[in-house]
Structure 1
């Protein structure tokens, strides 16, 4: 490729870039907000004497310094307002966080109270159940003891009744003999 074709390509590329549509650079030109025209630009008229030129130049410098000082004051004032606004927002955020934390702590404490009450009720119910079971076991034991005592009494009563039918020693030989003869007869 020759230098002529390269330059032709560059020219063609540039023309395509500028005609292709608004790029960032071109778009910025349309959206940029310019400052108002400065009174210093284009205000200088050629003075007649150098002394007059110095005087006017000093006057322009003073006015420029004064405007710059006012602009700086305005900027400082704006920055202070922004700082105060940010400080106020930060304080409001911190206050909201503090209130939210307090609410969360209150809810936590209430939930803990409710759980403690539920636990207390469950323990009381458990104690009542244990007491009821113990009472039933004691009653069951007493009933069994009573039945044992009654059986013992019945046994001793039966033994007493049977012992009333006991044979005297003098008659015992005669009864033994009768029993022995009765069994042999069978």
Structure 2
């Protein structure tokens, strides 16, 4: 009787299969597929301002969902649970590796875009500097041409003023010569300056009666 009672009590004392931990359940639910959004909620294709996005590739259903079945033997249950944990760790390791690979690709793409943007900014700055240098050279050439034209204009004006002054002096000398010639013609006799006193005395002494 004691033996039968011991046999009846032993199954109740054996450890029952433990359910998976909450973190495992949450992770398995997170890895499971999600339902595709309702097509009626999407805006009409005619009203879209941008091209439609690429069709989303949903992940395959997780093998861990619904894979646990209770076992009669506790040892077999523990063995299956350990195998499930190992498979889960392996799957998570692979998922982390894929995530790291995707993040590295994103980092490389971002680095490439940043380098391209910096290169574009550098080229734009160089073009702007070249344009400034070319504009400065053009302004310098125009200023040089303007200064040369101004110098030529000043020289021309100075030459014109000199020619005008020369013509005026020549005209004055000509008028003076014409006046002297007129005086010489109007005088019956031209008396030199050294003979002026002698002729005056002669005129006083030798008077001619009327």
1:22 paired residue among 32, 40, 48: 40
Deviations 1:68-114 (A, max 9, x none): 12101111110111011111111011112211221221122112212
2:167 and 2:81 map into 1 onto residues whose CA distance is 126
1:80 aligned residue: 104
| TM, length-normalised to structure 2 | 0.61
* Larger RCO (alpha carbons 8 Å, 6+ apart): 2
Distance in 1, matches of 2:141 and 2:56, equals 69
1:152 aligns with 2:172: no
Which of 152, 160, 164 does residue 136 from structure 1 map onto?
Answer: 160
**1:123 and 2:170 correspond:** no
Offset at residue 119 of structure 1 (A): 1.6
After TM superposition, give the deviation of residue 134 of structure 1 in Å.
0.7
Give how far 1:65 is off. 1.4
- Paired position in structure 1 for 2:8: none
TM-score, structure 1 as length reference: 0.68
Deviation at 1:34, TM superposition (A): 4.2
Q: Does 1:114 align with 2:138?
A: yes
Q: Is 1:95 matched with 2:119?
A: yes
**Which blocks of at least 5 consecutive residues in structure 2 are unaligned?**
1-38, 43-54, 192-198
* Structure 1 portions without partners, runs of 5+: 1-20, 25-30, 179-186
Q: CA deviation at 1:158?
A: 3.1
